[in-house]
Amino acid sequence: MLILKLGGAAITDKHKANTARSDYLRQIAALLAQHRQPLILVHGAGSFGHILAKNYGLAEGYQNPAQIPALAQLQRQLLDLNQAVMAALQEAGLPALAYQPSALCLLESGRIVEFYAEPLRRALTLGLLPVLYGDCVWDRARGFQILSGDQLVVYLANAFQAERAAFGTNVDGVLDSQGLLIPQLSLGDQIGQLESGAADVTGGMAGKLAELATLQTARAQIFNLNRLDQLEAVLTGGGPAGTLIQKPA
């Protein structure tokens, strides 16, 4: 099974609040439909969530009552983006089914400690395509907390013993301090400069690599989702795409 993240920076216009790249989502969906396989999709928030989350400190947990309407508004924005993703997938003929992470899981200090996986398991058994997303989720210690799609991908890869986890971003993969692609990386390696989008409350590339430290068995790949040839290579398993991440031996 493949757990695939559709990064928010690639599926939304990061410079325009609450704007999905719907035409591009349709092209992504067409490729997913062409290379059908056991799959769980997770999408990021991009311009639908990070700005509000940053303005109200939602990634720092509960601090003041002004955050409450912002939390509710954030969830609606995330549902709006999710609807755009679901429309593209279903129009391409995929039996996609949306799951709201805040209704399925619970965090403790920002980490998933409870996750009700059975509904996903049943959907997969019948050939459906579960779709989840980065969300604002209840947290036992902090009240609530932003849960990144990246943490979800790694959690799901471990829970479903997926063979592969792939992160579609807006860069070619992990880049070194000269901006050159690192084709293979062991998680123990020292990395120079890492890209992290300004409004990204969940840590950009550095956050991804930190999450990957908890990956148990799957092979991981970080690739450029703005390039359909790279997505195709990920889906077919043919040819290099982005950075391949290995666990240290």
In the sheet that 184-186 helps form, which strands lie side by side, from edge to edge?
96-98, 129-133, 39-43, 2-6, 164-169, 219-224, 243-246, 184-186
Q: Nearest approach, Cβ of 50 to ligand IP8 (angstroms)?
A: 5
Which residue, chain included where needed, has tokens 């991440």? 245
Q: Which is nearer to ligand IP8, 78 or 233 (CB)?
A: 78
**Residue 168 engages ligand IP8 in binding (rule: CB under 6 A):** no
Contacts of ligand IP8 in 141-160 (CB under 6 A): 146, 148-150
Return phi, psi of residue 159, to 5°: -65, -35
Q: Nearest approach, Cβ of 77 to ligand IP8 (angstroms)?
A: 8
Return phi, psi of residue 144, to 5°: -150, 170
Return phi, psi of residue 213, to 5°: -60, -25
Q: How far apart are CA 48 and CA 235, in angstroms?
A: 26
Q: Nearest approach, Cβ of 52 to ligand IP8 (angstroms)?
A: 8
CB under 8 Å to 115, separation ≥6 — which residues? 104, 105, 106, 155, 159
DSSP 206-222: HHHHHHHTT--S-EEEE
Is 147 within 8 Å of 202 (Cβ atoms)?
A: no
**Residue 53 engages ligand IP8 in binding (rule: CB under 6 A):** yes
Q: Which is nearer to ligand IP8, 34 or 196 (CB)?
A: 196
**Residue 136 engages ligand IP8 in binding (rule: CB under 6 A):** yes
Total of residues contacting ligand IP8 (CB under 6 A): 17
Q: Which is nearer to ligand IP8, 170 or 202 (CB)?
A: 202
Tell me which amino acid residue 5 is: K
Instruction: Please select the residue that binds ligand IP8; options are 41, 49, 124, 221, rule is CB under 6 A.
Output: 49
Q: Which is nearer to ligand IP8, 45 or 233 (CB)?
A: 45
Residue 129 to residues 38, 42, 106, 173, 231, Cα–Cα distance (Å) = 8, 11, 22, 26, 17
Q: Which is nearer to ligand IP8, 34 or 63 (CB)?
A: 63
**Residue 12 engages ligand IP8 in binding (rule: CB under 6 A):** no
**Residue 129 engages ligand IP8 in binding (rule: CB under 6 A):** no
Contacts of ligand IP8 in 198-227 (CB under 6 A): 201-202
Which of these ranges, 14-22, 103-111, 119-127, 132-140, lies near ligand IP8 under the rule CB under 6 A? 132-140
119's tokens: 């509904």
**Residue 107 engages ligand IP8 in binding (rule: CB under 6 A):** no
Residues found near ligand IP8 in the complex (CB under 6 A): 8, 44-45, 49-50, 53, 74, 78, 134-136, 146, 148-150, 201-202
